[in-house]
Amino acid sequence: MSTVDGPKRDTVRIEGPAPRILLIQAPYYDQVVGGMRRGVERVVAEAGGVLEVVDVAGAFELPAALRMALDAMEHPEEPPLWDGFVLLGCVVKGDTDHYDHICREACSGVMSVAVGTGAAIGFGLLTVHTLQQAIERSSDDGHNKGAEAAQAALLQVALRRKWRMA
């Protein structure tokens, strides 16, 4: 277990209606992603938010699912379905270079969508060398990367609302 403490963040406070968050998860490593999901659920609940969860096949599909969700909201006459997004997954290094390709393309794809759209995104893709490292980062303690991703998404939602109100 790591001896370095993760960042301690207070509950995110968001002005206005309850934030609606879409969690897109790749539950290939169900124990790990399930642990991170519990962190997301806790953080979103503490912020008074509403969470919707969808599954995709794997980490490679996370950026496309995010893009599809954003495309589903392109109806200006309707309120947006979600205020922010959290993406969760885990890739464990194996004996081939498959790990490198999946990690690089998933991260690049999410960053491309984030920069191109300005969407409020929390990205929780674990890229680890061992399953034990992933378990440590998905436990119910201060190191839960799902909780950190949810905090990031909520902070982005709060920033967007602040700037829209200004």
Report, as residue numbers or ranges, the catalytic residues.
Answer: 98
Q: SS3 letters for the chain? A: CCCCCCCCCCCCCCCCCCCEEEEEECCCCHHHHHHHHHHHHHHHHHCCCEEEEEECCCHHHHHHHHHHHHHCCCCCCCCCCCCEEEEEEEEECCCCCHHHHHHHHHHHHHHHHHHHHCCCEEEEEEEECCHHHHHHCCCCCCCCHHHHHHHHHHHHHHHHHHHHHC
